């Protein structure tokens, strides 16, 4: 590896433009708020007049590195452009564009590697900021001449390191897409059932005049103010010496814990040390609402968020936030009621203030809400609770991926650890995790009268992987009884579980081993998928499971290839496969059976099975 300043790697480095903002028909302009958690968040972006002239070089290009260059608390944040954009940045952001080849260093440069190397330098970049007026400012020359990175001479090694780290980003992006889909599905169900009144069996229910702004509502439903069904608890005020970005007695949910439009975000992490009342404590699943806002468009105030799984066991909330306590209603219904545009649009406009908006918590209680029957509430809660469980698992998984990636970046880009060592360690960790999940499945379904066959076990684990976001084409192969992972059987999870005596072979399959209790010492978020898969597939016979996994594998492959799969295409694929054609007779495959499998997959997609978009 060689050590070099950024100047020797720079093709172009400059601040962005001074925008002429417009509301519509403009060019996207990224600002400091868009650079967060080493990613680009497009939601705070604005538009500049498309006719405003500026140097073409200030248009963002793929693999450009964006560096926040002004402001206390934002300076030094780094993000790399990962896709083609028709956009620019404002003058508070520096664009760093790397060379493809450095003559001075005589090396070819992998731009993605430079992006990861600069992520590791955020604290150093922040320390370079200076300003005589108290406005923290970063000069271009100070970045180019003072920030040094280490870079392998071989382009292939740079690319390999970047590719390993990109796997974590790709997994997180895939999980974020799944999270978004789950959130949209739950909101869609809420809207269909409780806004449009198209709930299961709605055709048989008479509509009556509610005498309120809701007009006609289903018979025997009611309308009440939120004060009748929820209470609230105010958060803690604190002094500057009681708050920290890194440690404290309590993780404190604050204004930065909210996404624009609602929902929880992790990069607003703050810690508090001081007195807390019992009712100001939070736990996973609790609902909070923002009652303060500093955005120009009221994008945070009156928006709810759910507390996800947080590494701190003690959680409280700041004075910018209130805790919502449902009296009898399910939390799922209350949360999506507060996320509904009718609540947010009405309530946010009750906030007042010049630079900082404030909302009286009592204004939340003034909102009217339609209350359905108890049976429909229970049905909605059952559906959404499953989605939220999966959503929380994905959020937790992403936090684990962030930690793993952020530990690897400094080790790889400084040469402290060899890539081969990292890959071997990760492979061993993945195999052990597979062993725990495989053992958990065997233990979950085994009884004195039943033990799962090998085929049944591996097909259930296939769907556990699918619900966990694993790409089946990378882990599974088209083998006779496939999709099948020979690695798991001979050197991976299954073989480790047997060797550790977590499971044992019994007549016809597997059962719990003498050391099965040892798996309770390990926790992985994917374990939560096992119960979901078992519940969804428990009535399927072994041959039905094999066909279902086969169809799913082909559907995934077709979508990746930008094809729209149907029963005929899937049947033709099986017939033409050298390995799978024997399934036609063995599984008695027909168009009708494939259609049934496709319908099952559609149902599974409603609770978390995700396919790539065509």
- Domain-wise residue ranges, the chain: 2-153, 161-205+377-412, 222-371, 418-605
What is the reported pLDDT for 133? Answer: 46
| 3-state secondary structure string across 283-301 | CCCCEEEECEECCCCCCCC
Locus of tokens 């027909």? 590
The reply to whether 222-371 shares the fold of 2-153 is yes
The rounded radius of gyration (Å) of the Cα atoms in the chain is 27
CB atoms within 10 A of CB 228: 13
pLDDT the model gives residue 422: 65
pLDDT of residue 137: 81
How far is it, in rounded angstroms, from Cα 597 to Cα 459? 14
The CATH number of 2-153 is which of 3.40.50.1980, 2.40.10.350, 3.40.50.2020, 3.90.220.20? 3.90.220.20
Closest CA to 96 of 136, 162, 142: 142
Q: What are phi and psi of 324, to 5 degrees?
A: -100, 130
Cβ 370 vs Cβ 197: under 8 Å: no
For helices 454-467 and 527-537, give the axis angle rounded to 10 degrees: 120
Distance, in Å, from the CA atom of 516 to the CA atom of 500, rounded to the nearest integer, reads 9
Q: How many beta carbons lie within 10 A of that of residue 360, not counting itself?
A: 12
Task: Tell me what pLDDT residue 132 has.
Answer: 42
pLDDT at 301: 94
pTM for this structure?
Answer: 0.71
Count of alpha carbons within 13 angstroms of residue 168, beta-carbon side: 21
Chain CA centroid to CA 6, Å? 32
Superfamily of domain 222-371: DNA methylase specificity domains (3.90.220.20)
Q: Which residue do the tokens 């964006």 mark? A: 66
Cα three-residue angle 385-388-394, rounded to 5 degrees: 145
Q: Which residues pair with 290 in a beta bridge?
A: 321
Q: pLDDT under 50 in the chain at which residues?
A: 131-133, 614
So what's the pLDDT on residue 468? 82
Alpha-helix runs per DSSP H in 350-453: 362-365, 374-413, 419-445
Q: What is the pLDDT, as a whole number, of residue 405? A: 87
Query: The tokens of 169 are what?
Result: 């980003």
Report the pLDDT value the prediction gives residue 210, as an integer from 0 to 100: 94
């Amino acid at each position: 590896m060689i050590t070099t300043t950024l100047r020797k790697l720079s093709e172009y480095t400059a601040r962005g433009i001074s925008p002429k903002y417009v509301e519509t028909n403009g060019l996207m302009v990224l600002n400091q708020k868009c650079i967060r958690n080493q990613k680009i968040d497009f939601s705070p972006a604005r538009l500049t007049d498309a006719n405003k002239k500026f140097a073409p070089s200030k248009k963002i290009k793929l693999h450009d590195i964006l560096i926040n260059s002004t402001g206390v608390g934002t300076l030094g944040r780094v993000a790399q452009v990962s896709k083609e954009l028709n956009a620019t940045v404002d003058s508070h952001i520096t664009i760093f564009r790397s060379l493809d080849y450095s003559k001075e260093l005589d090396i070819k440069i992998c731009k993605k590697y430079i992006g990861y190397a600069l992520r590791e330098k955020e604290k150093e970049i922040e320390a370079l900021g200076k300003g005589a007026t108290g406005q923290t400012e970063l000069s271009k020359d100070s970045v180019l001449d003072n920030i040094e990175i280490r870079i392998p001479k071989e382009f292939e090694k740079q690319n390999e390191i970047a590719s390993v780290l990109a796997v974590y980003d790709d997994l997180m992006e895939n999980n974020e897409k799944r999270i978004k889909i789950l959130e949209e599905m739950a909101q869609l169900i809420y809207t269909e059932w409780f806004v449009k009144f198209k709930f299961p069996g709605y055709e048989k229910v008479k509509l009556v005049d509610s005498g309120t702004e809701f007009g006609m509502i289903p018979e025997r439903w009611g309308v009440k103010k939120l004060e009748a069904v929820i209470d609230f608890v105010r958060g803690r005020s604190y002094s500057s010496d009681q708050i920290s970005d890194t440690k404290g007695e309590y993780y404190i949910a604050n204004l930065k814990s909210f996404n624009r439009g609602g929902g929880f975000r992790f990069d607003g992490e703050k810690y508090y040390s001081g007195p807390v009342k019992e009712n100001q404590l939070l736990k996973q699943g609790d609902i909070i609402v923002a009652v303060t806002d500093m955005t120009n468009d009221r994008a945070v105030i009156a928006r709810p968020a759910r507390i996800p799984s947080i590494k701190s066991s003690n959680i409280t909330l700041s004075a910018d936030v209130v805790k919502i306590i449902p009296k009898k209603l399910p939390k799922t219904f209350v949360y999506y009621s507060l996320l509904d545009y009718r609540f947010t649009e009405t309530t946010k406009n009750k906030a007042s203030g010049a630079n900082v908006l404030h909302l009286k918590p009592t204004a939340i209680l003034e909102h009217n809400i339609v209350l359905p029957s108890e049976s429909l509430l229970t049905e909605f809660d059952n559906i959404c609770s499953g989605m939220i469980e999966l959503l929380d698992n994905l959020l937790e998984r992403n936090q684990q991926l962030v930690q793993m990636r952020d530990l690897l970046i400094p080790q790889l880009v400084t040469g402290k650890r060899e890539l081969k060592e990292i890959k071997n360690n990760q492979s061993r960790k993945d195999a052990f995790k597979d062993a725990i999940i495989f053992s958990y499945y065997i233990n979950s379904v085994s009884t004195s009268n039943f033990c799962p066959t090998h085929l049944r076990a591996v097909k259930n684990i296939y769907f556990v992987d699918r619900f966990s976001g694993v790409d089946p084409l990378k882990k599974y192969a088209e083998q006779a009884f496939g999709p099948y992972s020979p690695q798991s059987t001979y050197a991976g999870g299954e073989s480790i579980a047997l060797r550790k005596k977590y499971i044992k072979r019994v007549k016809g399959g597997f059962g719990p081993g003498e050391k099965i209790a040892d798996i309770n010492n390990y926790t992985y978020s994917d374990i939560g998928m096992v119960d979901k898969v078992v519940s969804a597939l428990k009535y399927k016979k072994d041959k039905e499971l094999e066909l279902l996994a086969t169809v799913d594998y082909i559907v995934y492959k077709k979508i990746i290839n930008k094809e729209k799969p149907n029963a005929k295409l899937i049947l033709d694929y099986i017939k033409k496969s050298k390995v799978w054609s024997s399934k036609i007779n063995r599984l008695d495959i027909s168009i009708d059976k494939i259609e049934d499998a496709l319908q099952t997959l559609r149902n599974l997609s409603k609770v978390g099975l995700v396919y790539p978009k065509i």
